[in-house]
Chains A and B, each alone.
Chain A
């Protein structure tokens, strides 16, 4: 079964520093990977998705993700964190049984301090 793991419940970073939110995947076949962000009491917002062949994916709000096939990882990155980036981040993978199903990781809370 397709799955993603987010090993960190929380990531703390100072404003202006680079941030990384980790995600590893386990899939049969090609990985179709996504990152979403959720602000308090809000729905999920799409950040970016992995398209086959692009190891560095650029997304919304200055975020990017690095796909690494050998390490089965799809880490979310941003060169300079903002306090407003503080939110809950979910990695997700398309389910193999049907393209309509997304399987989400457990989420990582990002806290950016001023």
Chain B
């Protein structure tokens, strides 16, 4: 299985709602990532988990809360979002090989989020 899956595909939420995005991979990768992508822009890194521990937080507002319950799953909990948070949210995974800069990231199809 060489796939990263994300649910839901689309999500519309109000500014007072609480929702979660889910990501799953079964490639044995021990690094997982959340990216935010605005239309016609490159992905922006939000969070990185390595061996289920948060290793990078790119100064993301606290209304975004990541969680890595096990090595295959990654969640992004959303609360009190703003309309400007509307974007495509991409999950990715990769191997974690000590000192190896060549390992590529595998991306899921993304969740299209609209905040009203």
Contact = CB atoms under 8 A, between A and B. Distances in A.
Interface of A: 30, 32, 34, 36, 41-46, 49, 51, 88, 90, 94, 98-102, 104-107, 109
5 contacts: A32-B102, A34-B104, A43-B6, A98-B55, A99-B99
Interface string B19-47: 00000000000010100000011110100
A86 B108 CA distance: 20
Given A100-B31, A100-B55, A100-B56, A44 B102 contact: no
Nearest to B104: A46
Using C-beta atoms within 8 Å of the partner chain, give the interface range for chain B. 20 to 34
Q: Which residue, of B40, B90, B100, B101, has the highest number of chain A Cβ atoms within 10 A?
A: B101
B55 to A, nearest CB: 7
B55 A44 contact: no
